[in-house]
Amino acid sequence: MLRSVPKPEASTSSSHTAAGAKNPSATLAEAASTRSTTTATSPATATTPTSAGETSAPSGKVPWPRLRSGLQSWREQPVLSYYLLLVCTLLLFIIGFILVFSASTIQALDNGANPFRAFGTRTVIYVASLFIMFVASRIPPGFYFQGHRYFLGAAWVMQLLIFVPGLAASAGGNTNWIMIPGIRMTLQPSEFIKLALAVYLGRVLTDPRLRENLWDWRMWLRLVGRPAVGSLVLVLLGKDLGTAMVMASLVLVAVFAAGLPLKYFGIVILVGLFGATVGVLSSANRRRRVFGFLDASTSDPTGIGYQRQHGLWSLATGGLTGVGPGASREKWSYLPEADTDYIFAILGEEFGILGTFLVLALFAVMCVTLVRIMQRSVSNFPTFTVAAMIGWIFAQAIINIAAVIGLFPIIGVPLPLVSSGGSSLLSIMAALGIAMSFARREPGAEAALKARGRPLRKSQAILGGAPKRSRVRNRD
């Protein structure tokens, strides 16, 4: 702890001067003892003599105010939210790209397909998702504000296609996909309902009638309840309870941020728990997974607990630094759904605890950044829309990771930006692009981004103009 030595009072110094005049040797001894005491008790405040006989400022105090002021100015940067969100998104995107290539290669070989050709199809989706994120980040927020109804309506129409014979595709007991004719690919419309519902709730929660009548439950039911319940019902008709739970988290976080009275909020949670219980009990497969999770005696490694046990073995094998990229053993058809639901286990096996902590840290920074965008927004629409996205993305991440490490039963939702799944990746990248659009409109951010682009444009103008001048000289 840094302490400063108090300056002596004038009366004290005069008395010391008088004492020194009477007995110089005593004064010198007193001064020496004072210096030794000061040095022993507060070494951090020791001063350094200079050539002019003066003393410099205490060395322990100089860096901290500068560091604090530097951090404060860095936190107040208007473009900080945009760049933090961009960097976290791209890093998670790259990690997911590497892991999916590592895990899906074995699956393709097991199916007798060319792994590079199969991953080439996935690469097209990855490139398309980057393009969608870039375009969404450049579209003004007013476009999303005005088109919220059209987005939700289009998503509902897509979801209704799962009931059309010849287009519907099923997997794991769920009918929640549609086949795209001609290209042998499937699309999961429920992922796009999440995106459309987040934008829709962000718009309707800014309605002045709702803001003025927070205790009018009929208003909440008409503006928020109907579209939310309609979306959940369409997803549950496809028997996809995991996606419905994530969607419910999206709605809960959005209405909480909008100021829904706690009385109504508690009622909504109780209704949601009742619906989840009914959903679990209505399916034999879900009952088997949930009861197997609750009763450890039924979780034998060769039966209901096979996937969970191999996921834990995969994490344990990785240790601190992992076995190396591409060297996972569990992905060789030992761990089911290694490239989707259990991609976090492959991450822990190949990159160890350090790799898993890196992904968790990136998600944490992304969450803090999204909260910062909410706080710095100049209107309620970005605030409520981003709140819905937080409830969506991070509830999905928590459910996935908790299931892998054995804290939750296996529900079957992918890890955002990391797991394989084209529909999930496209919708989440679009959502993060919309959040970046909001971040680019924070106070001062637009002007700062334009100012940072001017040097690049000037350089391009100079480099582009130089050859023209040289050609003119050659003609002369």
Q: Count Cβ neighbours within 10 Å for each residue of 147-179 and write b for 16 or more, e otherwise.
A: bbeebbeebbebbeebeeeeebeeeeebebbbb
Report the alpha-carbon distance of residue 228 to residue 418 in Å, rounded.
27
The residue type found at 340 is T
Closest C-alpha to 144, from 200, 98, 193, 100: 200
Structure confidence at residue 327 as a pLDDT band (50, 70, 90): confident
| In the chain, % of residues over pLDDT 70 | 77
pLDDT of amino acid 464: 52
pLDDT at residue number 394: 94
Per-residue exposure over 85-105, b if at least 16 CB sit within 10 Å of its own CB, e if not:
bbebbebbbebbbebbbbbbb
Q: For 253, phi and psi rounded to 5 degrees?
A: -65, -40
The predicted pLDDT at position 72 comes to: 63
User: Which tokens is 417 given?
Assistant: 């930006």
Other beta carbons within 10 Å of 390: 22
Question: Do 265 and 251 meet the contact criterion of CB atoms below 8 Å apart?
Answer: no
The pLDDT value recorded for residue 277 is 87
So what's the pLDDT on residue 167?
Answer: 83
Is it the case that residue 10 has pLDDT exceeding 60?
no
> Is 287 a residue whose pLDDT tops 50?
yes
Instruction: Give the strand order in the sheet containing 168-171.
Output: 168-171, 174-180, 185-187
Q: Identity (one letter) of the amino acid at 246? A: V
Report pTM: 0.79
395 CB-contact burial (10 Å; exposed 0-12 / middle 13-18 / buried 19+): buried
Question: Confidence band (pLDDT; 50, 70, 90) for 462?
Answer: very low
- Report, as an integer, the average pLDDT of 256-270: 90
Residue 49 phi, psi (nearest 5):
-70, 145
- pLDDT in the model for residue 453: 61
Mean pLDDT, range 388-411, rounded to an integer: 91
Backbone angles phi, psi at 462, to 5 degrees: -70, -45
Distance CA 155, CA 170 (A): 19
Per residue in 68-93, pLDDT (tens digit) is: 666 666 667 878 899 999 999 999 99
Mean pLDDT computed over every residue of the chain? 79
pLDDT class for 260, splitting at 50, 70, 90? confident
Q: What is the mean pLDDT of residues 116-142?
A: 89
Q: How far from chain centre, in Å, is Cα 127?
A: 20
What is residue 304's predicted lDDT score, i.e. its pLDDT? 75
Distance CA 64, CA 57 (A): 13
- For residue 169, which phi and psi values (nearest 5 degrees)? -135, 140
Mean pLDDT of 420-446: 91
92: nearest Cα among 434, 475, 429, 446: 429
Closest to 351 measured CA to CA, from 102, 88, 93? 102
Q: Can you give 422-473 as a three-state secondary structure string?
A: HHHHHHHHHHHHHHHHHHHCCCCHHHHHHHHHHHHHHHHHHHHHHHHHHHHH
415, 397 contact by CB (below 8 A): yes
**pLDDT, tens digit, 9 for 90 and up, residues 111-121:** 777 777 777 77
pLDDT at 196: 96
More confident residue, 250 or 121: 250
Give pLDDT tens digits for 136-162.
Answer: 999 999 999 999 999 999 999 999 998
The pLDDT value given to residue 29: 43
Of the pLDDT bands very low, low, confident and very high (cuts 50, 70, 90), residue 2 is very low
Nearest CA among 290, 255, 259, 295 for reference residue 272: 255
pLDDT tier, 471 (very low <50, low <70, confident <90, very high otherwise): very low
Residue 332: the pLDDT is 85
Kindly report, residue by residue over 198-229, the tens digit of the pLDDT: 999 999 999 888 878 878 888 888 889 999 99
Range from 70-79, 330-339, 384-393 carrying the lowest mean pLDDT: 70-79
